[in-house]
A and B are shown apart, each in its own frame.
Chain A
Amino acid sequence: MADTKALPSTLSVGLARTKLEVREFFREREALIFTFFFPIIFLGIFSAVFGNTDFNGVNAATYFTPGMIASGIFLSSFQSLAISIALERDEGLLKRLRGTPMPPQSYFIGKIGQVLVTSIAQFALLLAISGLVLGVDIPTEPSRWLNFVWIFILGTASGSVLGIAFSVVPKSGKAASAVITPVVLLLQFMSGVYFVYSSLPGWMRGVASVFPLKWLAQGMRSVFLPAGFEVNEPGGSWQLGTGAIVLSVWLVVGLFLAQRVFRWTRRDAG
């Protein structure tokens, strides 16, 4: 071969995939509604229904904003990736990609890149609506935003790797939404995204505290709720240290599982 041109780098192909994935995401109505706008819609409904009902001293919009932010991160990473990858595997897109010189890592760079872009955009929109429309006080202390950054990163990272791993669970592309959405919904209810967490029964809190969303939501409450609010948490504190550990463990477990179970072809493909 006289061909002297080099193969495009993993990073440049990964960035091209990110661009493609983001475009796909924003052009697809279903993903846009059930992943992107879902927490925003719920925040709107909650603040309309509960209005000025008192939640331990704050109004509904203030109380539910951190939960919706956490929920948005989990939807944009876990749900979005688990469903889209299950579909792409079942319908042969992954098989086609595997037959091209696209580096496998570039595919994952594209997926993670898409999660970052969409979850940051979603967060910005949530924050804008909370602050400008619903009159929620947005914190300004740098220490709170520093906490936000690591909680956001740990949350998106663990949600993404778990989503990649979970994409092998649905048996077909058609079943993907039906299998994954209820799992996410259940976790959201148990993790206190839609309720006041401390008002949930103890056994439910026990189950929820095994999974990442509870810790993500608690971490976001620590960032966005007023000082001193942690007395309303079941343990009387934000438990940020425990949260960091649980999320990190899920990140490591997810990384391990994603590498072990990810496949480019359907299960029945031999």
Chain B
Amino acid sequence: MENDNAVRVRGLVKRYPDKVAVNGVDLDIHRGEVFALLGPNGAGKTTTTEILEGYRRADEGEVSVLGTDPAHADRLWRSRIGIVLQTSRDEAESTVAELVSHYAGYYPNPRDPDEVIAAVGLEEKRKTRPRKLSGGQRRRLDVALGVVGNPELLFLDEPTTGFDPEARRQFWTLIENLRTSGTTILLTTHYLDEAEHLADRVGVIDDGRMIEIGTPETLGGRGARTARVSWSDADGQHELRTDKPTAEVAALMARFGGEVPELEVRRPSLEDIYLELIGKANDAKSVAIEAGAL
């Protein structure tokens, strides 16, 4: 029977003729959460996602999405998920309203097409054909077509690539509203601020392996989030990591007798932590290569 996990993956392996794309991934996505899958290009994000969506078959491992193995999915299962692909063409000659209504007709229990169009902010474009929409508006149409079936689980593959900052903010609000309505979301993205903003949990995948899973706040472990205090003096730049930045600043104030030159206190962003994680993984790999282990 289904449990609290919308997605459960154990020991997933997918090989292509020239490489192992996914090499033993474990993953649980809880119902109702937004899970962001991060990783460099070619790390295995898309392959993993496409196996969960039922587009590809796993070579090894156990995959369960909404209690079903996507490799044996039927129409009922497909009616419970929504997929927003990275790039896709619409029926170019139909209007936004025509398309959303048409796609709603595939599902047993669709949302009201007008409400969906309003939710993605395309009310004024109802009678517009997709090729006349801006990039951001087209992406919102993609989301409208992905959610009109009222899915329990939504896959979003790099939804905001190419957006300007304002369009991205609007898009985030749309995703937050979906989450509030109880939809489980698997998001793949290149933008760390996006993951930080939207995701309850984040998984970092590199070279076909899940190297870490955690909340945006705990990713990278306890040490990763320690504050960095930096300043300069006659000897040059200084930086130290500390759990007590306030005390450090107070001590520096006392030392300098007031203003501390170029004082900065900051905590590493998710992006800093992510780059450190990927960097460590690559360092380990090159050490292994040098040692002849690979």
Contact = CB atoms under 8 A, between A and B. Distances in A.
The interface size bin for chain A is 20 to 34
Contact of A27 (B83, B87, B89, B93): B93
B179 interface: no
Nearest to B54: A99
B93 A7 contact: no
Interface string A89-104: 0011101101111110
The interface size bin for chain B is 20 to 34
Interface string A21-43: 00110011000000000000000
B88 A100 contact: no
Contact of A8 (B85, B105, B145): B105
Contacts of A103: 75
Q: How would you classify the secondary structure of chain A's contact residues: helix, strand, loop or mixed?
A: loop
B88 A102 contact: no
Given A16-B105, A101-B106, A102-B106, A7 B85 contact: no
Q: How would you classify the secondary structure of chain B's contact residues: helix, strand, loop or mixed?
A: loop
A24 B103 contact: no
A260 interface: no
A115 B16 CA distance: 39
A13 interface: yes
B88 A95 contact: yes
Contacts of A23: 93-94, 98
A152 to B, nearest CB: 27
Contacts of B78: 99-101
Contact of A101 (B53, B76, B85, B92): B76
B191 interface: no
B93 A95 contact: no
Interface of B: 16, 53-56, 75-76, 78-81, 83, 85, 87-94, 98, 102-103, 105-109, 145, 149
